[in-house]
Structure 1
Amino acid sequence: MANGLNVCGNVVGLPTLDAKTQAVLHEDRAPYQETELSRCGKLYGASEPMRNLFTMISKVAPTNANVLIVGESGTGKELVANVIHQKSKDSSQPFVALNCGAVSPQLIEAELFGHERGSFTGAIRSQKGCFERANGGTLFLDEVTEMSLDMQVKLLRVLETNRFYRIGADEETEVRVRVVAATNRDPAEAVAAGLLRRDLYYRLAVFPIAMPSLRERGHDIGLLADLFLQQLNAEEGCNKFFSRASLRLLQAYPWPGNVRELKNVVHRAFILADRELDIAPAIGPVRNAPTLAEQNTDCVTVQIGSKLADAEQQLICATLDHCGGNKTMTAEVLGVSLKTLYNRLNEYQSKLFLQDAIVHASPYGVQARN
């Protein structure tokens, strides 16, 4: 067993490859074979973005601050919420989760606040809502931007007063609940689009946390794939391993579904494999994003005599557009650091006479995020 340092405070044992498998994979795993996964709750990672995430969790967990987690689907937002609760001083109290996008607008008020018997058709008995069930603990509201604006007003009032009315009730109920919310949308864009009330955004985002996508986590991809494979080997009593081609594809594929997709792909490849895992067939049927190799099929035409700075701008904006606005992937394709890319984009934004050209060249904006 290899020990990984738990940034949240513990040392944990993680499964390692047997000697024979390590010998087979030595050449392709060289960049990350000596790296150890750190663990925080059910979150694993060795990359700098994940270590920063673990630090953020350890800072905010002991407080009472509301948290807004922002990140793509499949990055582990609920796992973060769970760890925050586990590391809080109220960890012995309930943790209640609600996906706001999975509840119809007609039922979400009753789901959040509960109802009295006979308050509407089918209400044969009184029932507590999520706020009451989470009293003293943590309420996790996933995909909060999918909530209607009318409900956002009611949610805001609860966050401000810690009081609400059950449907059909004459008296208010008082609770003490920490709210951790999450969204896969950019909050600023959601506010601008009228999907999220600005005042609710500021109330939720007392402590914002940005989840890194899997493609931003470098060799965490291979480490996590190893972890998932060894867990499956332990469960099934097998000793399967990745092919060398699979290890290369793990790093080349952009993983639009993030850690959730990676885990599912490893599981599918495990089921299909007799001994050596080939992840290409497991990715193929569900792939919905281009590989890095496929991203190089387009070209940019630059007129002879163009200024070098103009040609660079055209290439950067076209590559950003082709990568779907993903700045990390764009930097990788261009062979520059992410900081360099942000500097270039901010330079373009600051030149007012180039704004129109940039907007038409790329729909993804140039606002750098911290």
Structure 2
Amino acid sequence: MFDSHYDYASDARRDNVVAMPMRGAVPREPSELTRFGMMYGASPAMREVFAMVERVAPTEAAVLVVGESGCGKELVAQTVHQLSARADAPFVAVNCGALPGSLIEAELFGYEKGAFTGANRTHPGVFERAEGGTLFLDEITEMPLDMQVRLLRVLETRCFTRVGGEREMRCNVRVVAATNRDPHQAVAEGALREDLLYRLAVFPIALPPLRERAADVLLLARHFLGELNREHGTQKKLTEASEAAILRHAWPGNVRELKNCLQRAYIMSENWVEVDPENAMPGMGSRPATRPGMLEFEVGTSLPDMERRMIIATLDKFAGNKRKTAEVLGVSLKTLYNRLNEYARREARYATA
């Protein structure tokens, strides 16, 4: 199914990587990193993601990928595209959060010559450029609400009009969207229209952060080092101390942080690669280490999301003892049960969206 994109057989067992066959087969050795499309992983969490992608890719369903920054949401979208009937058509990605509000309409739908100052020629938007293929809308919760209304109409009618144009154009595009926020919380905060959420989340996929993929961390590090060795014709290896440091680190920047950290350590080393994740950017200040039993929150995380993570982590710390959890958090047992019931309802609603 992937033959036109990648020779998986030639990569088998290279740098502890095996290609994951279709239909849910798993590697014989749990110590091996599995490649599935553009993604890598050996942990149960990632194998579940692989299975979900394999299920939805051949369909025309809209997909919403939810995960922290640096987890590889675009790789999920690219894999969905590669495994679909649209694989030979374009894959076009656009970051909704990187476009100014004044330009996002022109980038999505294109514009006619003379539509505004500087429009010296007709410009096709991403819906036209992705015709017949897949359009990846990253950071969908950062799109202005008025544009969300227009996007919803295009998704429902498959028709749009260029800025400055009058002719309605039809499009044949599959949309995969992504966000690093809790989508239901984004709806509650007014950042995402609820009707658009349900239109995009026909098939939601939750991508786990690297800290929840313990079986993958060291395998990924070795894999990235192997790529660098092949690229530069070297045979550098990780020291035992480096491997221990990699396993200890929380990786708040997820796979992107791990890959960048390995690349810098590779550049700075001779034969043995010394990795120090806590001092990966010398001269740029230090970041407090996240010790076991501690939570780390990215600036900009919503208070309800921090509260949810704190409750779940505390409940886990006390092995599910709700009375002890409520006592430590300083809330009543009733309040704790209300919160947990709310989270359960939200998860159920999200799973059936």
TM-score (norm 2): 0.79
- The structure with the larger Rg is 1
Does the CA-based 8 Å contact 1:71-1:210 persist in structure 2? Answer: yes
Cα offset for 1:367?
2.0
Report whether the alignment pairs 1:70 with 2:69.
no
Cα offset for 1:354?
2.9
Residue identity opposite 1:81 in structure 2: A
Residue identity opposite 1:87 in structure 2: L
Cα offset for 1:321?
6.9
Query: 3-state SS of the aligned residue for 1:69?
Result: strand
Does the CA-based 8 Å contact 1:325-1:364 persist in structure 2? Answer: no
2:280 paired residue among 274, 278, 283: 283
Residue identity opposite 2:98 in structure 1: A
2:209 paired residue among 206, 210, 213: 213
Map of 1:139 onto structure 2: 135
Does the CA-based 8 Å contact 1:321-1:364 persist in structure 2? Answer: no
Matching of residues 10-159 of structure 1 within 5 Å = 11=9, 12-16=11-15, 35-159=31-155
Q: Which runs of 5+ in 2 are unaligned?
A: 1-5, 17-28, 296-304
Residues 308-354 of structure 1: CA distance to partner in whole angstroms, max 9, x if unpaired? xxxxxxxxxxxx979964957984xx3x7xxx55x849x96xxx953
Q: Which runs of 5+ in 1 are unaligned?
A: 1-7, 18-32, 297-319
In structure 2, what is the Cα distance between the partners aligned to 1:329 and 1:258? Answer: 23
Map of 2:300 onto structure 1: none
Does the CA-based 8 Å contact 2:63-2:202 persist in structure 1? Answer: yes
In structure 2, what is the Cα distance between the partners aligned to 1:354 and 1:330? Answer: 12
Cα offset for 1:171?
1.6
CA shift in 2, pair 1:126/1:47, >3 Å: same
Cα offset for 1:283?
3.0
Does the CA-based 8 Å contact 1:323-1:330 persist in structure 2? Answer: no
Query: 3-state SS of the aligned residue for 2:86?
Result: coil
Residue identity opposite 1:367 in structure 2: Y
Worse overlay, 278-287 or 51-60 = 278-287
Does the CA-based 8 Å contact 1:14-1:227 persist in structure 2? Answer: no
Worse overlay, 130-139 or 243-252 = 243-252
Identity %: 49
In structure 2, what is the Cα distance between the partners aligned to 1:88 and 1:73? Answer: 25
CA shift in 2, pair 1:279/1:201, >3 Å: same
In structure 2, what is the Cα distance between the partners aligned to 1:114 and 1:124? Answer: 13
In structure 1, what is the Cα distance between the partners aligned to 2:7 and 2:334? Answer: 48
In structure 2, what is the Cα distance between the partners aligned to 1:121 and 1:45? Answer: 49
